[in-house]
Amino acid sequence: MTQAKTVSPANGLRGELTVPGDKSISHRSIMLGSLAKGKTLVRGFLHGEDNHATLNAFRTMGITINELADGDLEIHGRGLHGLSEPADVIDCGNSGTTIRLMTGLLAGQGFFSVLTGDKYLRKRPMKRVLAPLATMDARIWGRGGGEFAPLAILGNPLRPTTYDSPIASAQVKSAVLLAGLYAEGETTVREPHLSRDHSERMLKYFGAEICPFKGGVTVKGQPHLEGREVFVPGDISSAAFFMVAALITPDSELLIRNVGVNPTRSGIIDILQDMGAKLELLNPRELSGEPVADILVKTSELKGIEIGGEVVPRAIDEFPVISIAAAFAQGTTIVRDARELRVKETDRIAAMTSELSRLGGRVEAREDGMAIAGAGHLSGGLVSSHGDHRIAMSMAVAALRAGKEVRISDTACTATSFPNFWDLLEKVRV
């Protein structure tokens, strides 16, 4: 599964594109569609490997999910207590969202289940969800004293909890909220900064009683969820590669249509605008409880900035490509408060530092971030994706403005979130 790709410098990127559906919203549409009563229609579902892991998991638990001709999904939900015991281990592949959210959701079932994943996922920390779930009486075991998958879950009646999360993580928050659906009474999660709130919005959309407040959110257990039509907007995390590509490549202008711009996800827009990006949101609207807009972006002179605090969780998946924007900015960009990058699909601080350095970038890794000197020039060369989709795509963006061709090893991983990335890149190159 290595599949190396060579990307040559571009003269410009022009035209219009739509990026595939939002990965986080796609996961949640299957989960809540399955736990709702009746039919849920999911429009614009992301057919990537991560979301297929979630889809297969619910099929193995007895949920009928039909794929319609245009890729939309029809889910025949069986209600909160309608899942059946899976006959085999559930493989979550590379998907942290699948394994962590499902751990919460499975903790309150009347059956036994086992979750595992690929070699990257099996190295990622799981105690962050097991610890709060234990306060709800969940019974879950894992390797390394409960830190690593495979995870074995013996479903158990749950009691509600109030959890003060030390990290701003939507996966932790969502795991506890999903477990909270099975508890009698109110479950509350507080977090240091607001992480993406797609679970909250979609739970409300499906009819749960959910109450966000400053610093946290409360959900009431045992709701009746009703099947709905869900429109999945384009993934801002995928659009981000094209935003940065257009900003750093001379003579570029791109219109990216139908992008989800939920404020808990749109940190990339604030960061790029602070760096001096010519980037505008057009035609703002709302779809299934999520804000959506078109994004117009043009080649820009960027400047280095300091990034930290509340914007970090709102842009958490975009730091690999932000480091590429920083490499072509005037001055130094400092990223701090981003320790979470060390436990993503790979250690993204280490991976971006090593791969940018290979192309002559001047980057220093720090414990909770990085310092990137805007050298304004990268050379060609050979780089590695580290098996991480967002590192692979970020290096492809860097290549558009590098002095010579860049060869990226192991690019098959882009299928986890953005299967047509390479085709779209070809389409908009002039």
Residues in contact with ligand S3P by the rule CB under 6 A: 24, 97, 169-171, 174, 195-196, 316-317, 340
Task: Let me know: does 53 contact 95? Beta carbons within 8 Å.
Answer: yes
Of 317 and 410, CB closest to ligand S3P: 317
> Could you tell me the CA-to-CA distances from 335 to 122, 329, 346 in Å, in that order?
27, 14, 18
251 is catalytic: no
Q: How far is the CB of 169 from ligand S3P (least distance, A)?
A: 4
Q: How many Å is the maximal CA-CA distance in the chain?
A: 61
| Cis before 223 (ω within 30) | no
Q: How far is the CB of 96 from ligand S3P (least distance, A)?
A: 6
> Can you state the angle between helices 236-248 and 389-400, rounded to 10 degrees?
20
CB atoms within 10 A of CB 119: 8
DSSP per residue over 321-363, as a string? HHHHHHHTSBEEEEE-S-GGGGGSSS-HHHHHHHHHHHTT-EE
DSSP code, position 19: P
CB atoms within 10 A of CB 123: 15
Q: How far is the CB of 125 from ligand S3P (least distance, A)?
A: 9
Give CA angle at 28 (419, 280), nearest 5°. Answer: 65
Sort 81 into a burial class: Cβ within 10 Å, 0-12 / 13-18 / 19+.
exposed
Catalytic residue among 197, 317, 388, 410: 317
Of 390 and 401, CB closest to ligand S3P: 390
CB-closest chain residue to ligand S3P: 24
Of 234 and 304, CB closest to ligand S3P: 234
Of 163 and 328, CB closest to ligand S3P: 163
Of 91 and 200, CB closest to ligand S3P: 200
Q: How far is the CB of 23 from ligand S3P (least distance, A)?
A: 7
Q: How far is the CB of 31 from ligand S3P (least distance, A)?
A: 11
Give CA angle at 364 (360, 370), nearest 5°. Answer: 120
Q: How far is the CB of 176 from ligand S3P (least distance, A)?
A: 12
Sort 151 into a burial class: Cβ within 10 Å, 0-12 / 13-18 / 19+.
buried
Distance of CA 383 to the CA centre of its chain: 23
Of 22 and 91, CB closest to ligand S3P: 22
Annotated catalytic residues are 317
